[in-house]
Amino acid sequence: MRVPAILFPSDPLNARRPDPHFAWEARLLRELGGDHALVDHDALLAGDMGEAVRRVPEGRGPLWYRGWMIPSAAYSAFAEALARRGGTLLTSPAGYASAHELPGWYPVFEGATPPSVWLPGAPADRAELAAAAGRLGGRGPAIVKDYVKSRKHEWAEACFVPDLADLPALERVVARFVELQGEFLSGGVVLRRYEDFARADLGPLGGESGSVQPDSGAQRDSTAQGGNAGAGEGQAGEARVWWLDGEPVLSGPHPDTPGHCPEPDLTAVRPLVRALGCRFVTTDLALRTDGSGWRVVEVGDGQVSDLPHGIDAAPLLTSLIAA
């Protein structure tokens, strides 16, 4: 079987070059003896799959993707367009959706991640939201996100809910979240119980829940582009662990806190990653301040998780092209 190639997004200003955000990965891949091809992310999002994959050589065989986030439906069409050219994405559309969207991975990680409930879209009315809050215990602090992303930059306004019992406040935060996500709302609204995590530089955080923080996800849209402003005050000290075929191939800082590199205990996470059954995923892990250990903050598809600059990505890329 051929060695997998890696697809990167092309530079919107020069289709023959990798997008500047991924250029260092493409360069490192070449140094490691790997092969890459370019895809047009804008064409992909516009649904023009023929154009999106035009630069991928015919009959290229096994492929990984490393690029901006892609909605799950578009990923399916992307996989089909590549298959028509004789290319096979090594993460199937079903596998992509399971790792990328919280309802896909949550059932496997339940108990190791903050308790969560979700609605299939924006809440239709207050009763629907109240019922969801009720399923989460109906009281205490929570955070709001969609199936894929939060608005953590707008923490007080569109992410953090001080008390689920305060329905008008919950409704306000969710409505603002939905408004700010706009057409980028992925799936539906998720409510998660808030847990206190150790912060990046300040050590364990007390009971208070302050402001958080810039982003991490490789998502090229109005919500996240250029959002990697570094660690905000109160940034949870997450580690991002990269898994291939159930083995951790790279463990490093979260892209929001590139200088902070906790070393998580993976004993409990490893069997969960294996149970998920997706070949290439990331887990973001944070340490609880109550002494109960490491928690999975979120799971992601490894193809669209951001790699912090400065990390030695050679072990990851070497594993991908050996897979």
Ligand X SMILES: Nc1ncnc2c1ncn2[C@@H]1O[C@H](COP(=O)(O)OP(=O)(O)O)[C@@H](O)[C@H]1O
Q: Which residues bind ligand X (CB under 6 A)?
A: 114, 143, 145, 149-150, 152, 192-195, 197, 212-213, 215-217, 236, 238, 284, 297-298
Find out whether 4 and 321 touch, Cβ atoms under 8 Å.
Answer: yes
Residue 236's binding partner, choosing from Mg ion, ligand X, none, with beta-carbon cut-off 5 to 8 A by kind?
ligand X
Token digits for 111?
A: 């108990």
Nearer to ligand X, 10 or 283 (CB): 283
Give the contact letters, 207-236, x = binds to Mg ion (CB under 5 A), - = no: ------------------------------
CA atoms within 13 A on the CB side of 179: 9
Q: Could you tell me the smallest distance in angstroms from the CB atom of residue 154 to ligand X?
A: 11
Nearer to ligand X, 36 or 149 (CB): 149
Least separation in angstroms between residue 195's CB and ligand X is 4
Pairing, β 61-65 against β 142-146: unpaired
168 backbone dihedrals φ, ψ, rounded to 5°: -60, -40
Give, in degrees to the nearest 5, the angle at Cα 246 between 240 and 249: 50
Say how far apart CA 116 and CA 234 lie, in whole Å.
Answer: 22
What's the min distance (Å) between Cβ of 216 and Mg ion?
5
Q: In 3D, which of 136, 109, 118, 281 has the Cα closest to residue 185?
A: 118
* Closest to 243 in 3D by CA, of 282, 269, 300, 299: 282
Binding residues for Mg ion restricted to 153-172, rule: CB under 5 A: none
Site string (272-311) toward Mg ion, x via CB under 5 A: --------------------------x-------------
211 Cβ contact partners less than 8 Å away, ≥ 6 residues apart: 155, 156, 232, 233, 234
| Packing angle, helices 72-84 and 93-100, rounded to 10 | 160
Beta carbon nearer to ligand X, 34 or 302: 302
Side chain identity at residue 8, one-letter code: F
The entry of ligand X, Mg ion, none near residue 195 (CB within 5 to 8 angstroms by kind) is ligand X
C-alpha span between 275 and 291 (Å, rounded): 26
Shortest reach from residue 284's CB to Mg ion, in Å: 5
Instruction: From the list ligand X, Mg ion, none, pick the one residue 149 interacts with, judged by a Cβ distance below 5 to 8 Å according to partner type.
Output: ligand X
Q: Smallest gap, in angstroms, from Cβ of residue 41 to Mg ion?
A: 21
The whole-angstrom separation of Cα 167 and Cα 175 is: 12
Nearer to ligand X, 236 or 321 (CB): 236
The distance of closest approach from Cβ of residue 156 to ligand X in the complex, given in angstroms and rounded to an integer, is 12
Which residue, 41 or 192, has its beta carbon nearer to ligand X? 192
Q: Which stretches of the chain bind Mg ion, using CB under 5 A?
A: 298
